[in-house]
Amino acid sequence: MWQTPTVLPVLTGLLISLVCLAMNAAAEDDAAALAELIDRHIQAPLDAEGLERVPPADDAEFMRRVYLDLHGVVPSAERATRFLDTSDAQKRSQLIDELLASPSFGEHFGDVWRKRLISPLASEQRLQTERFSDWLAGRFNNNDGWDRIVFDLVTATGKIDENPAVTYLIEGRHPLGVTDLTDLSSRYFLGVRLNCAQCHDHPQVAWKRSDYWGMAAFFAQIQTPGRPKKVYQAGVQDDPKMTLASLVEADMIEGYQSVPPTFLGGEALQADAHGSHRAALAHWITSSENPYFARAAVNRMWWHFFARGIVNPVDDMHTGNLPSHPELLELLSRRFAESGFDLKFLCRAILNSRTYQQTSRPGKQADAEARLFARMSIKVLSAEQLYDSLVAILGPPGKVPGIDTRLGARSEFCQFFAGDGDPDPKSYERGIPHLLRLMNSPQFAGQNVAALVSRVVAPGRSTDEAVEKLFVTILTRRPTPTEQQLARDHLRDADASPQTAYRELAWALLMSSEFSLNH
Amino acid sequence: MDDIITRRGFLSLAAAGGTLSGWLGRLAAQAADESQAKSCILLWMSGGPSHLDTFDLKPEASDKIRGEFRPINTSVPGIQISEHFPKFARLMQHAALLRSMSTVESDHQLASYHVHTGYQKRAGGVAFPSLGAIVSRELGERDFPLPSFVCIGAGPRHATRSGFLGPDHQPLDVTHADRGTDFVEPLTGRNEFNRQYELLRRFDLPFQEMYRAESARAHWSALDRAVRLMSSEQKGAFDLSQESDADRDRYGRGSFGQGCLMARRLVETGVRFVEVLMGDGVGWDTHRDNFPRTRALSAEADLGMAALIEDLRDRGRLDSTLVIWMGEFGRSPQITSGGGRNHWARAWSSVLAGGGIRGGQVVGRTDQGATEVVERPINVTDFLGTVCTILGIDYTRPNRAPGVERPIPIVDTSKKVAVVSELL
């Protein structure tokens, strides 16, 4: 008798996994097909302008880039060597799948979205944002649809301990909470900047002051009563009695207008709508009918990889600010919505495109190439990418007088090295204080560099091999013959012990512009 | 390689050994000759000092408001201040008390940001530059080896950043004046440092040539300026051990006093803006025990600021150096059951000294309980417009912030800015 009670579930399970596998394969095919469409949409304007694409990035450039973009850190020397030495034609798409499947994917995007969604008004004492990043990381790793994640953020209730998603609604709330949430939600979920319309009708754009306050009104039911600390004890709850008219210290808020909740574009909330105003807003935002939601997510993700949106500035999408590639934006938005707002699908399609895999080395017309995506942009490592990469290469940071790590070494480092606001990833924002610290602080330029050298200069390894290992570890690439020769000369001529000479070499690679950038 | 080590400054520094007062004096003389451009020292009273217990006493008010401190006479007849500023009281002829500050933010972070930048902080909005960054941009010289903006002290720094003016105007932070500035010496010897810097230059060159990135050029510009600071003679201004014990004592040996001393040395070498933060932790945020704490804080502030103003005067620098004493707001007139005072933004005081202003005067007036401004209200833009004018900066000049279409004036001119012309 084969039909024992245990076999059936096993078989069913097997069947389900087979179906899943087939669906996965289909999704991958879809992504590959979409990648080709991306390339075609990018190619057309290039042909029209007679502009040539630059050559593809070599394996090393591609690998470092895709690691930094998806995991926020450079790969280990071992992983890099394995990748560089494989001749499998599919190795790039396999690497993309491997990185998307790793928990580091969600952790990196959780980190990136935490920085966006937590208001800069949040004071350091109030920052309880680690758990918020973890919550986001879990959702990203679970590949929950972006519509579901956003719905849960906008409608979150309860205390931070019970539901970390409410952090979005709590941090930095007082006293501008309602206006803050209006700015952040429209900027990051809808790709529009409403903040100018807070005080006056926008001159070039359709947004009116009433549009701004109409959206703000949806958040009025969760306004903080009294002192800001109370919101931590009470958590977030909707109080149906609250409206914009009951806003605390409303006369202190610039441009204040008391209007009923109105969706962007002019449709007022039905008077008989039941449920909280936030739930109505969340349904409207994440609906596949919403004209902004999918486009905003696609443009933001495209910007994440290319440091340039299909619409620029990335969060200022309106009728007077047209996309450079309108059909591409429409296509990606439609396919993204059809996929169930599947972020990994969107990433997979973009990353498998030839457009993403081009080198960032400029050809004949550097600016035009960048504008039309004929080559990859060069991004500056974010503070987080820099810290995580230094730790990956050198191990834990050294303890240093003058660096106060009571709030955690990583968070101190990131605060010190981060630019203000929502910086342009192409723009280098570091100055004298940052470079002094990188060059001369034992946090990452002291004992840990010496320790790296001791690991690299292993017995039985030739000079050339050791130098190669150092390059792969720090720059994710092998040295050129010229660089090998330079290194040999340095090791021979330096008036110092081999250990010191290697340490100087490692220091030089760590301080290089190549290391500071994601090219 | 040689251009780093044989820099004249570095050699003369080495030759001078431990006694560097000579070169400091020489540099100071040079800097004074070169231009009439002004400098500014902001003494930042973190936490928000009580105006009723420092510069706007109300001896006639009721017990619940008046507090414990008595007013004393100053060098200017008719002007009285708290008894815990006795040294500063003798310098009143150089200073003006602004008793009608009136602002809108009463949260520490938001108020500090507003007062420093002139703009209210908005989520995801433009990152506005602080006063120090503005002065650095307007008055700083590109080829000066030190940053034009230095920030001294262990307090919170979120409001002091350069915002959209970028890394060139980011302050160099000195967390402990006693220790000098961090990471300005190489971890190795000078020769080794020069060797590895040269190695860095050679190894990075092919990347720069192949990728031609603006960001790579900016990286090198920052590297070169940092190395230039490391080998400059001006960096001696960070070393307080060059001052005599007696001089260091005059400023008070606490972190604030020593910060004031360093501020004087920095301004003398040509740094345009120095911010000295007073009050690590709660500072002047006296929700409880306002009186004992304000007494101690006042004594420390008095010592540092009086020594600073006196030294600047005696060294001929007071007219070209504006000293500002202020916090983010004042404190509530009503004394709480815990003997404290809460936040109060509607009416408070700040102090200006030097910078060529007309000293010896009081501007503005509050009502009997120091609750409301009744004469000559000064809001944030009026205040910053006034400071810019004193420093010779056109506060209406527009800046361009990346990604923002509209020009952003140094001080928000969308509402009328009323410069305090009595000071000019």
CB nearest A378 (choices: B179, B211, B227):
B211
- Would you state the pLDDT for residue A18? 52
Percent of chain A with pLDDT over 70: 87
Residues of A within 8 A of B162 (CB-CB) are: 420
B232 and B189 fall within a common domain: yes
The number of folded domains in chain B is: 2
Cross-chain residue pair B219–A516, CB shorter than 8 Å: yes
Does the structure show a pLDDT above 80 at A270? yes
Q: Which residue of B has its CA nearest to A366?
A: B212
Q: What is the DSSP string of A103-169?
A: HHHHHHHHHHHHHHHS-TT--GGG--HHHHHHHHHHHHHTT--HHHHHHHHHH--B-TTT-GGGHHH
| B193 and B170 within one domain | no
ipTM: 0.91
The phi-psi region of residue B97 (left if phi > 0; otherwise alpha if psi is between -120 and 50; otherwise beta) is beta
What's the confidence (pLDDT) of residue A160?
83
B404, closest residue in chain A (CA to CA)? A313
C-beta atoms of B204 and A513 within 8 A:
yes
Are B347 and B269 members of one domain?
yes
Determine the pLDDT at residue A197.
73
Tokens of A364: 């004949």
Residues of A in contact with B199 (CB under 8 A): 490, 504-505, 508
User: Half-sphere exposure of residue A71, counting CA atoms within 13 Å on the CB side?
Assistant: 22
Can you give the pLDDT at residue B22? 53
Kindly identify which residue of chain A lies nearest to residue B199, measuring between CA atoms. A508
Nearest to B168 among A187, A431, A519 (CB): A431
pLDDT of A226 reads 56
Q: Does B174 lie in the same domain as B191?
A: no
Indicate yes or no: CB of A428 within 8 angstroms of CB of B167: yes
**Category of A165 on φ-ψ map: left (φ > 0), alpha (ψ -120 to 50) or beta:** alpha
- Across residues A332-345, what is the average pLDDT? 97
Q: Are A133 and A110 in contact (CB under 8 A)?
A: yes
Q: Are residues B116 and B264 in the same domain?
A: yes
Both tokens of B201, joined, read 């230059």
Segment 371-410 of chain A within 8 Å of chain B by CB: 378, 380, 401-404
Are residues B340 and B206 both part of a single domain? no
| Residue A152 identity | D
User: Cα dihedral angle (A99, A103, A107, A108), rounded to 10 degrees?
Assistant: 0
| Domain residue ranges in chain A | 26-56+289-376, 122-286, 380-518
B244 touches B296 (CB < 8 A):
no
pLDDT tens-place string over residues A162-210: 899 988 888 655 545 788 889 889 999 999 988 777 766 766 667 888 8
A375: Cα separation from own chain's centroid: 20
Contact indicator for B96, B376 with CB cutoff of 8 Å: no
Q: At what angle do helices A177-189 and A103-117 cross, to 10 degrees?
A: 130
Provide the CATH number for the domain around residue B289: 3.40.720.10
Q: Please state, in angstroms and rounded to a whole number, the distance separating the CA atoms of residues B302 and B299.
A: 5
CB-CB under 8 Å, B216 with A437? no
Q: Which residues of A touch B127 (CB under 8 A)?
A: 419-421
Kindly list the residues from chain B whose CB atom is less than 8 angstroms away from the CB atom of residue A403: 182
Contact present, A284 and A155 (Cβ < 8 Å): no
The verdict on a CB contact (< 8 Å) between A184 and B170 is no
Q: Inform me whether the C-beta atom of residue A237 falls under 8 Å from chain B C-beta atoms.
A: no
Q: How far, in Å, CA of A225 to CA of A222, rounded? A: 9
- Kindly state whether A252 is in contact with chain B, defined as any CB-CB distance less than 8 angstroms: yes
The Cα diameter of chain A in Å comes to: 83
Question: Same structural domain for residues B59 and B175?
Answer: yes
DSSP calls for A50-113: T-PPPPBPPHHHHHHHHHHHHHSSPPPHHHHHHHHH---TTHHHHHHHHHHHSHHHHHHHHHHH
| Same domain, yes or no: B45 and B27 | no
Q: What is the pLDDT of residues A83-110, one digit of tens each?
A: 999 999 999 999 999 999 999 999 999 9
* Same-domain status, B261 and B380: yes
Please tell me which residue of chain B has the smallest CA distance to A200.
B414
pTM, entire model = 0.84
Residues B348 and B313 in one domain: yes
B395 and B376 housed in the same domain: yes
Instruction: State phi, psi for B275 to the nearest 5 degrees.
Output: -110, 125
Q: Residues 178-197, chain A: which have Cβ within 8 Å of B?
A: 179-180, 183-184, 187-188, 195
Question: Which of A224-233, A278-287, B223-232 has the weakest average pLDDT?
Answer: A224-233
Tokens of A489: 């000369």
> Whole-number mean pLDDT of chain A?
88
**Of the residues B193, B223, B238, the one at which a domain ends:** B238
What domain range includes position B4? 1-34+182-238
Structure tokens at B244: 């005599």
Tokens 């051990």 map to which residue? Answer: B241
pLDDT at A449: 96
Nearest chain B residue to A494 by CA distance is: B195
Which of B200, B221, B238 delimits the end of a domain? B238
Nearest chain A residue to B166 by CA distance is A429
pLDDT computed for residue A187 by the predictor: 92
Residues of A in contact with B182 (CB under 8 A): 402-403, 436-437, 441
Q: Do B188 and B276 belong to one domain?
A: no
Angle at B387 between CA B383 and CA B388, to 5 degrees: 115
Instruction: Write out residues in chain B with pLDDT < 70, as ranges.
Output: 1-37, 123-125, 281
Partner B contacted by A483 (CB < 8 A): yes
Residue A252 has pLDDT above 70, yes or no: no
Query: Is A376 a residue whose pLDDT tops 70?
Result: yes
Higher-scoring residue by pLDDT: A494, A154: A154
By Cβ distance, the residue of A424, A433, A517 closest to B170 is A433
